[in-house]
Amino acid sequence: MITVAVGQLRPHIAQPQQALAAVERAARSASSTGADLLIVPETFLSGYAIGRAAAQRLAEPVDGEMASAVARIARRSSIAVVYGFAERGSDQKIYNAASFVSETGEHLAVHRKLHLFQSVDAEQFSPGHDRPPVVAWNGWNVGLAICYDIEFPETVRMLAEDGADLICTPTANMVGFEQVSRLIVPARAYESQLYIAYANYCGADETFSYAGTSVIASPTGDLCAAASPDAEEILTADLDRATLEEARRNLTYLTDRRLDLYGHGTAPG
């Protein structure tokens, strides 16, 4: 069993030091409750709707100064952290990315958002092109997705095919799209028999009001934890491997798919 924490936090637009301080507070709080892993929202280190010029200015490589700062936070609080940031790739393109850092500060994985959400993403970022990562950590296979990615069943299927037990999902979901937390995230967890931790903003910036309602969803389709629409909160949930294994025995969507009829993919296992 592992304990996962979701940090539902207010945005800090183009204020990376304030964002880092908020990550540290959330890490300390989550660690004090016994959590092993903390997820914070999409592009949290820069803010989400910051515009192309600010994204260019604040973007860093995956091993940049901000990444080193988060690694220090993870070590100090003895908690793994998944966080969103604006990544400057070696190709000099700017990506909406999420990084997974272990409790010892080791960089484990990075994911570039595949599905850009309307003009707000397209004006700031280039789309990722790589299959989402799944990495082994503390006896669990952990995958990464970002916001709009999780709304596509194909993304979750890819991660499930690659063995994910848990998908960590930093997000910046706006007011008006609350059905994503209420309906889509639990459905994705149920239909692919895995856990999903969905970490959203609350409050507002100059462009958007955010929906809050962060959730941790079970492979049974139930919510292990759910946040309010408008307050900063640290959600925690114990993720049980027995629940995961029972769901995989009883729900056979992945093995019953007709891949000969509807697309390319691989059967699990």
Alpha carbon 163 to its chain centroid, in Å, reads: 17
- Going 127 to 128 to 134 to 137, the CA torsion angle's sign is negative
Angle of the 65-77 helix axis to the 16-32 helix axis, nearest 10 = 20
- Asked if residues 127 and 113 have their Cβ atoms less than 8 Å apart, the reply is yes
Positions annotated as catalytic residues are 42, 113, 147
| Tokens linked to 173 | 């979901």
For residues 244 and 242, give the distance between their C-alpha atoms in angstroms, rounded to a whole number: 5
Where do the DSSP E strands lie in 117-252? 134-137, 140-144, 166-170, 195-199, 215-217, 223-226, 233-239
Nearest to 37 by CA among 170, 130, 132, 182: 170
Using a 10 angstrom Cβ sphere, with 0-12 exposed, 13-18 middle and 19 or more buried, the burial of residue 264 is exposed
Q: Phi first, then psi: what are they for 154, rounded to 5°?
A: -65, -35
- What separation in angstroms does the CA of 191 have from each of 60, 145, 188? 36, 16, 5
Q: Under 8 Å CB-to-CB from 267, ≥6 apart: which residues? A: 161, 254, 255, 257, 259
Q: Is the dihedral of CA 205, 206, 211, 215 positive or negative?
A: negative
